[in-house]
Amino acid sequence: LVYADWDLRVDRTFILEATKVNGRALEFAHFEELIRDEELLSAAAHQLLDSLDKQRGPELEFTLAALSRLVHQGCATQIVSAHEQLLKCIVVNKLDHRTRIVVQALFGTLTQYAGAMLFHVAQCASTDDKDDAGSWLRGCAIDILLHWFMEDRQVFCSSAGHRAAILLAIGLQERIEMVGQGSSPSKKGEVSIKTATMLEEVMYFLSEE
């Protein structure tokens, strides 16, 4: 589509068909009206979500980044409904730090809708070590919960939220203990103080609740 003629890049029918093949095609449409078209946006989100299981590496990163942009264009609800699939990306792409960062960034854009995802993210944060070698999924879930907590702790003002906050506190405490076992003294101090401060905030919230 990058090389398509102007006439095609402003043709709604063509853009719709191209978007059904690759959701990122919508980004190359030339008219603002097309980029804001609800049907086109929905088609883009659907195609990108549908392709997650088949992608790896940079291709997956581009797709996740495109989904993050679609959140701000009115597709948040559609993407939230697929949050379990997004969490699965972390499991399937274990040890891929770049994918982990992009997935976490996508969940970060969805803070406003965190309540609908809290149960499954908290479930990941309580994954047993035998099912999560290296605590990869658990660590990512803790990062997502922490981001949501720092952005809007009202999300945690429910029974499910309290459970999630407890799991977050446990995860932060474990990180403090892990840092104490490695790294240089200066690194230990810096990380421990930052994490301890966050843990203190979570514990204060729980005591107030």
Q: What is the pLDDT of residues 2-38, one digit of tens each?
A: 556 666 777 788 888 888 988 888 887 766 777 788 9
* pLDDT band at residue 156 under the 50/70/90 scheme: very high
Entry pTM: 0.83
Mean pLDDT of the chain: 84
Contact 45, 67 (CB under 8 A): yes
133-171 burial code (b ≥16 CB/10 A, e <16): eebbbbbbbbbbbbbbbeeebebbeeeebebbbbbbbbb
**Residue type at 109 in one-letter notation:** T
Per-residue pLDDT, averaged over 34-61, amounts to 88
Considering Cα of 205, then 162, then 166, then 89, what sign does the dihedral take?
negative
Residue 168 pLDDT level (bands cut at 50, 70, 90):
very high
Tokens representing residue 58 in the block: 């940079």
